[in-house]
Every structure is written in C-alpha cells, then in structure tokens.
Amino acid sequence: MIDSHHHLWKYSAVEYPWIPPNSPLARNQLLDELNEATSAAGVDGTIVVQARQTLEESEWLLSLADQSEVIAGVVGWVPLVDPNVALPLSHFAAHPKFKGVRHVLQEEPDAYFLREDFHRGLALLPDLDLRYDLLIFQRQLPVATQLVDRQPDLGIILDHLAKPEIRNGKMDPAWKTGMAELAKRDHILGVKVSGMVTEVLDPLIDPDTLRAYFDETLELFGPDRLMLGTDWPVCLLRIDSYPSWTQIVRSFVEGLTADESAAILHDNAVRIYNL
C-alpha cells in the first residue's frame, strides 16, 4: 500500500495553532513515528504533505524524505501569488521526490480561487511536471470547479473527498452534485480517500455512512482515480491509530477486482504522482 497523504511536524503551539492542545496531535510526529505507523499497517511508501505555509517547511520535508526509504514523494508549499515564485518552484522541482504543491484554499475566501496572480503561479506547474493538491470544503466546490476549468493543463488531485459534511445515515446532495461536476474534468487526476473521519459531524462514526461516501466517489470517478490516504496524524482526532484507517479502506475495496483494489491501494498513487 501507498499512503498518498500524511503529515509530519515538530510540534509547536505557535507554529501549529490549528492543533488542539492536549490532543494526540500535540506532539512530535517525525520519521520514527511514521516508520512505526506504516510498518504496523503494511504501508510500503508515502507522500508527505505540507502542514505549514512556509518555504522552510517544504525544504525540511525534502530533507526528511532524503533520510527515508518510506517517503516516496513530497507535496510542499510555495507562494504561488508571488511574482517571483518561479525561483523556489524550480529549486524544489529539481529534487526527485518533490511531486506537487498545495495551498490551504479551505481557509481562503472564494475570491482567492480566481485571483490572477494565483493562477499565474498555478500555470507554472505543468511544465515542471508538478501536480496540484486541491484542499477545499464541500461548500467551496462550485468556485473550485471554476479554478479547475481555468487550468486545463494542470494535473489536480482532490484532497479528502472535498471534505464533505458527513452526517450519519445521510449523504449531502450538494456534495454529490459538486463532485459529479468535478468528475467530468479529466485533469482531476485523483481523489484521496482520506480525511473522512474528521469530517463526521456526529459524536459517533458510522462505518456504513463512510462506505456510502466511498462508493459514491468510486461511482463518480472510477477506480483509476481513487487513492488511499490516511491524513495521519490528523485522523487520530477521531480514530485510535494509523492502521485503523488503512483497515477501513481495505474493507471498502474488498468487493472490487484484484486490479481495482491494487489501483486504489497502490498503483494510482505511483502513476498520478510519478513516484
């Protein structure tokens, strides 16, 4: 298995203000912790994704990847709105494990999605063979689709199923409509089956509801665009361990063909991110 989405950090309340104090996240999550988690789950390779919007973090993640046989790719951050962003982009793209860029769009107003300077930065990625990770909430699906349509040459990966508002026993029709529209775009190369547990709005997590969201995403995007991701260690806010989520995704794919299962658990990540 390949985990297409996880994070690493040296915990600091100042640098990670979004991490709840005294939560399982409020501690260092570094290579030793990653190796222990992936070994327990049977994960062979990973893609580590930015958790801070600094060039220093992108450099640090690449330094960790250099020390790790598990980390196969890095999705970092660069200031895409900066007129000089080509300089750090070229620097990072020269590293064989630098695979893509992400900006935390979920925290931005809708107008940010359509900024000319932001799109000028996005337009630099295809020539460097870099992907863009699209991090949004469900409510941002309409404006995100406008962004996607303005970048037809950019390979885009949708994080966390667009963070649906998950209520047990229900499927939000607005999420389904927005995802169906995005699925029509061939340059949406992948959708990460990750981040679901932290979007459940009920006190308890209903496995059947999570499966329904997976099944709907599979129906819309097909087995060649779905990828296992754990969103570890963020997932520990709602489940007890890294292997708990990989086992849930394994249960999702049990009824698929061997090729379809292998695609979602491993092969798609290799192909989509050029690992």
Give the C-alpha separation, 17 to 146, whole Å: 30
Query: Which tokens go with 143?
Result: 């404006």
Per-residue confidence band for 203, with pLDDT thresholds at 50, 70 and 90: very high
62, 74 in Cβ contact below 8 A?
A: yes
Average pLDDT over residues 255-266: 98
Give the C-alpha separation, 155 to 214, whole Å: 22
Among the listed residues 100, 98, 158, the one whose alpha carbon sits nearest the alpha carbon of residue 124? 100
| 251 three-state secondary structure | helix
Query: Which tokens go with 224?
Result: 């060649």
Average pLDDT over residues 181-188: 98
Q: Which residue has the tokens 């390979």?
A: 155
- pLDDT for residue 39: 98
- pLDDT for residue 51: 96
- pLDDT for residue 185: 98
SS (H, E, C) 103-118: ECHHHCCHHHHHCHHH
Q: What are the φ/ψ torsions at residue 66 (nearest 5 degrees)?
A: -65, -30
pLDDT digit string (tens) for 212-251? 999 999 999 999 999 999 999 999 999 999 999 999 999 9
- Our count of domains for the chain comes to 1
- pLDDT for residue 134: 98
Q: What are the φ/ψ torsions at residue 189 (nearest 5 degrees)?
A: -75, -30
Distances (CA, A) of 23 to 53, 162, 234: 22, 24, 10
Give the range of the structural domain holding residue 256, as residue numbers without chain letter: 2-272
Give the CA-trace dihedral at 224, 2, 64, 88, to 10 degrees: 0
30, 73 in Cβ contact below 8 A?
A: no
Q: CB within 8 A of 30, min separation 6: which ones?
A: 8, 9, 10, 64
Mean pLDDT of the chain: 97
pLDDT digit string (tens) for 72-98? 999 999 999 999 999 999 999 999 999
Percent of the residues in the chain that have a pLDDT greater than 70, as a whole number: 100
DSSP structure class, residue 29: B
Average pLDDT over residues 28-49: 97
Q: CB within 8 A of 199, min separation 6: which ones?
A: 160, 163, 164, 165, 166
Report the relative pairing of strands 71-76 and 98-103 from DSSP bridges.
parallel
CB contact burial 116-133 (16+ within 10 A = b; e otherwise): eebbebbebbbeeebbbb
DSSP structure class, residue 265: I
* CA terminus-to-terminus distance, the chain: 13
Q: Which residue has the tokens 């990653």?
A: 34
- pLDDT for residue 215: 98
- pLDDT for residue 120: 98
C-alpha Rg value of the chain to the nearest Å: 17
- pLDDT for residue 84: 98
- pLDDT for residue 221: 98
Domain of residue 153, CATH code: 3.20.20.140
141, 175 in Cβ contact below 8 A?
A: yes
pTM above 0.95, yes or no: yes
Per-residue confidence band for 132, with pLDDT thresholds at 50, 70 and 90: very high
